[in-house]
């Protein structure tokens, strides 16, 4: 799972830097921002799934 996410992050950053370089202000900040957003989404999903599991 971690390897898939890292490969996915790297691919998205590469595509953005290749096809829309003006929107990318640096690879490091892009990786950081994307990682923070995906980690937050995972936390929300796991939290909601745990609540559903307790309700049953």
What are the pLDDT digits (tens) for 2-49? 666 667 767 877 787 788 777 666 667 777 777 788 888 888 999 999
User: What is the pLDDT, as a whole number, of residue 4?
Assistant: 65
What are the sequence ranges of the domains in the chain? Answer: 2-55
User: What is the pLDDT, as a whole number, of residue 18?
Assistant: 81
Alpha helix segments (H runs only) across the chain: 2-19, 27-55
User: What is the pLDDT, as a whole number, of residue 27?
Assistant: 66
User: What is the pLDDT, as a whole number, of residue 29?
Assistant: 74
Q: How does DSSP classify residue 14? A: H
Q: In angstroms, rounded to a whole number, what is the distance separating the alpha carbons of residues 21 and 37?
A: 20
In the predicted structure, residue 1 carries a pLDDT above the cut 60: no
pTM above 0.95, yes or no: no
Structure tokens at 41: 């989404």
Cβ-in-10-Å burial (0-12, 13-18, 19+) of 38 comes to middle
């Amino acid at each position: 799972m971690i390897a898939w996410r890292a490969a996915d992050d790297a691919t998205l950053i590469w595509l953005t830097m290749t096809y829309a370089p003006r929107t990318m202000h640096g690879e490091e900040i892009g990786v950081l921002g994307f990682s923070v957003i995906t980690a937050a989404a995972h936390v929300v999903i796991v939290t909601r799934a745990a609540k559903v599991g307790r309700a049953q």
